[in-house]
Amino acid sequence: MNPSSATAPNTNEYAGDEISAIVLDPGYSSTRAGFAGEDIPKSVIPSYYGIAPTASGSSQYLFGENSIHNPLPNLEIKNPWSSDGIVEDWDTATKLWEYAITSRLTGQRPTDPTKNGLNDGTNGEGNGQMDVDMDGLDDAEKPLAESPLLMTEPGLSSAKAREKYIEIAMEDWGTPAFYLGKTGVLAAFASGKASGIVIDIGASTTTVTPIVDGLVLKKGVQKSPLAGNYMSNQLRLIFAQSQPPVPLTPHFMVASKSPVDAGAPAQAIYKKFEVPPTASFRRFEEERVLTEFKESVVETWTGPNRLSVPGTEESLKNAPGRPFEMPDGYNQLFSAERFKVAEGLFDASSALHDPDNPRPKDEQTIPRMVQAAIHHIDVDLRPIILGNVIITGGASLTYRIMDRINAELSQMFPAPRIRLIAPGNTIERKYAAWIGGSILASLGSFHQLWISKKEYEEHGPSIIDKRIK
């Protein structure tokens, strides 16, 4: 048989065997879901959700990119995750994740239309509300009755959280088989590595996970809040502290704008709202602007010295700046400021702080976390581990952060060569854990590892600790 698009690839080549499993990788900033065996997650939704009161007095949940950016009156934007990267609001998280799965992948089960909540007040595709009453469904009608589910969990999750995951998957979604993979391990798999140290710079947390033969060395896992959200907060501080302060106006407030000179006050016509949008909504929208700023202006300082070394910052003043225009037309050339944002990830002493944003601890910086993680690793393994430093997470896309990590680590571990591994592709960097899960769940030899419904029924949720160590 000659290979063409009509023939399936030879599964023996990669030991693949797809069983239509679903991979779900929930994170603080976005939730990724898709079918195992695919290259990228088909369904990526923000982990923030909207909650708005309805006329009847109950509250309505809004999920998905298309429904939460609308400035509805009294719309609150929330996140089921706590700011330290642990799921807090399990009920909403369950709904959110279910939305991620059902909106694009499995579709709604043909359940009683009055029960599934889809028909009250939907205004367009993707604006589903998942106010689903689960008790009324029996197994065959549950959203995942046909698909095994692989979920990811952060490196340091408690036994309770793990039991909760399997409970949701088995009881709420009725999945026939379940598996829980650690984001670190999966990200390493996505880079084709079974041993190494994964530095995942996400939104809420930066996690450093040492991995040996696909197993996490638990004692070595390090976690810190210095990640994407921290960088956003640094930006807010920088904007507030600069002279004059840089106004941060989100898109939804601007009706029209006209060009102004750099640094001049914005000349824009602002929208009028009968009920002003809530603070949480505004903050969420500001975050979008900040992310844009991080993507296009922020750069990691790569030396020769750290920024905190006296004189270094002054020399930056005349460095060429990068322009940025706010949604209201205010624009400015940012030079020294853009280097300060990520500096705290490497040097806690140069982090900006105020009462709301306390100075980070020295142990929370990336170099110190790697050092602490490496300390737990057997000497014989260190050369292998240091030769496979895998970098993932959305915030690792910060410009030139790789160079800085490389410099810091090489300084700290001169002897065995440091080798950084990071997918160059934006998508692969952001979704590394999902991609690793997709690879894993489509391997023929993996299918013996699933926890089946039968096992769950026999042993209860505690099986997760027995089976997946």
Partner 1 sequence: MATRRDIQDIIGLPGGGDTPAPKKRAKTAGPQKKLHGVNREVAALYGERPPPVAVYEEKKTYRAKRANLGPVRPWIQQPFTNPARTDGLVLKHWRRKPTARPNIENGGDTAMEDADNQSPQLETDYEYARFNVDVSVPSYTDEEYEAHLRSNEWSREETDYLLELAKDFYLRWPVIHDRYEFQSAKAEPADDAASAGDSILENPTDALSTLPYNSSLPRDPRSIEDLKARYYFVWETTLKLHRPPEAMESSEFELLEVLHSYNPDSEHVRKRIALALMSRPLDEVKEEEFLLAELQRINIAANRLDAERAELRERLEAPTPQRDLGPAGPLGNFQSSQALTALFQQLFQQDRSKKRASGSGRLSLSAGDIIGTPTAAQQAAYNAAAGSRKASMAHPPPPQPQLRALSAAEERRYGVSNHDRLTSGVSFGSDKLVKMRQAKSGVQTQKIAAVLAQLGFGDIITIPTARVGAAFEGLVAKVGKLLDLRKVREKEENEVKVLDGMRAKRAGEDPAATGSAPPQHGRDSTETQERDMKQEERDESLMEQSIADSTVGAETTYAEDGEGGDDAEGEEDDAEGEEDADGETNATSTRQVSEAVSTRAATTPAASVKAGHKRSASVLSAGSTRSRASTKRARK
Ligand X SMILES: Nc1ncnc2c1ncn2[C@@H]1O[C@H](COP(=O)(O)OP(=O)(O)OP(=O)(O)O)[C@@H](O)[C@H]1O
Contact positions vs partner 1 (CB under 8 A)? 1-6, 8, 15, 17-20, 146, 148, 176-177, 212-213, 215, 217-220, 292, 295-296, 322, 371-372, 375-383, 397, 399, 411, 413-416, 424-427, 443-445, 447-448, 450, 452-455, 469
Interaction of residue 103 with ligand X, rule CB under 6 A:
no
Q: How far apart, in Å, are the Cα atoms of 414 and each of 203, 303, 367, 418?
A: 30, 17, 13, 8
Contact 392, 32 (CB under 8 A): no
Our CB check for partner 1 shows the closer of 7 and 123 to be 7
The entry of Mg ion, partner 1, ligand X, none that residue 228 binds, CB within 5 to 8 Å by partner kind: ligand X
In the complex, least distance from residue 343 CB atom to partner 1, rounded to whole angstroms: 18
User: Which part of the chain contacts ligand X (CB under 6 A), choosing from 227-235, 332-340, 356-364, 411-419?
Assistant: 227-235
Our CB check for partner 1 shows the closer of 326 and 377 to be 377
Q: Can you spell out the DSSP letters for 299-364?
A: B----SS-TTSTTHHHHHTTSPPEEEE-TTS-EEEESHHHHHTTGGGT-GGG---BTTBPPPPGGG
Residue of 16, 202, 250, 327 that binds Mg ion (CB under 5 A): 202
The entry of Mg ion, partner 1, ligand X, none that residue 220 binds, CB within 5 to 8 Å by partner kind: partner 1
In this structure, is the dihedral angle defined by the CA atoms of residues 403, 406, 409 and 414, taken in order, positive or negative? negative
Interaction of residue 152 with ligand X, rule CB under 6 A:
no
Our CB check for partner 1 shows the closer of 6 and 55 to be 6
Our CB check for ligand X shows the closer of 203 and 390 to be 203
The entry of Mg ion, partner 1, ligand X, none that residue 5 binds, CB within 5 to 8 Å by partner kind: partner 1
In the complex, least distance from residue 204 CB atom to ligand X, rounded to whole angstroms: 4
In the complex, least distance from residue 393 CB atom to Mg ion, rounded to whole angstroms: 6
Which positions from 68 through 87 interact with ligand X, judged by CB under 6 A? 85
**Tokens representing 443?**
């391997």
**Tokens representing 222?**
């390090």
In the complex, least distance from residue 284 CB atom to ligand X, rounded to whole angstroms: 12
Q: Is 379 exposed, middle or buried (0-12, 13-18, 19+ CB in 10 A)?
A: exposed
- How many residues line the site for ligand X (CB under 6 A)? 21
In the complex, least distance from residue 401 CB atom to ligand X, rounded to whole angstroms: 8
DSSP state of 95: H
Q: Round to whole Å and give the CA distance between 103 and 58.
A: 23
Q: Which amino acid is at 185?
A: V
Q: Round to whole Å and give the CA distance between 444 and 15.
A: 6
In the complex, least distance from residue 191 CB atom to partner 1, rounded to whole angstroms: 17
SS3 category, 1: coil
The entry of partner 1, Mg ion, ligand X, none that residue 229 binds, CB within 5 to 8 Å by partner kind: ligand X
In the complex, least distance from residue 114 CB atom to partner 1, rounded to whole angstroms: 31
Contact 102, 126 (CB under 8 A): no
User: Which part of the chain contacts ligand X (CB under 6 A), choosing from 252-260, 372-380, 387-395, 441-449?
Assistant: 387-395
Tell the residue number behind the tokens 């410009």, with chain if given: 399
List b or e across 191-219, with b for residues whose CB sees 16 or more CB atoms inside 10 angstroms. bebebbbbbbbbbbbbbbbbbbeeebbee
Residue of 291, 332, 365, 438 that binds ligand X (CB under 6 A): 291
Q: Round to whole Å and give the CA distance between 116 and 136.
A: 10
Our CB check for partner 1 shows the closer of 2 and 58 to be 2
Interaction of residue 203 with ligand X, rule CB under 6 A:
yes
Q: Is 161 exposed, middle or buried (0-12, 13-18, 19+ CB in 10 A)?
A: middle
Applying CB under 6 A, which residues contact ligand X? Answer: 27-30, 85, 202-205, 227-229, 291, 294-295, 393-395, 397-398, 430
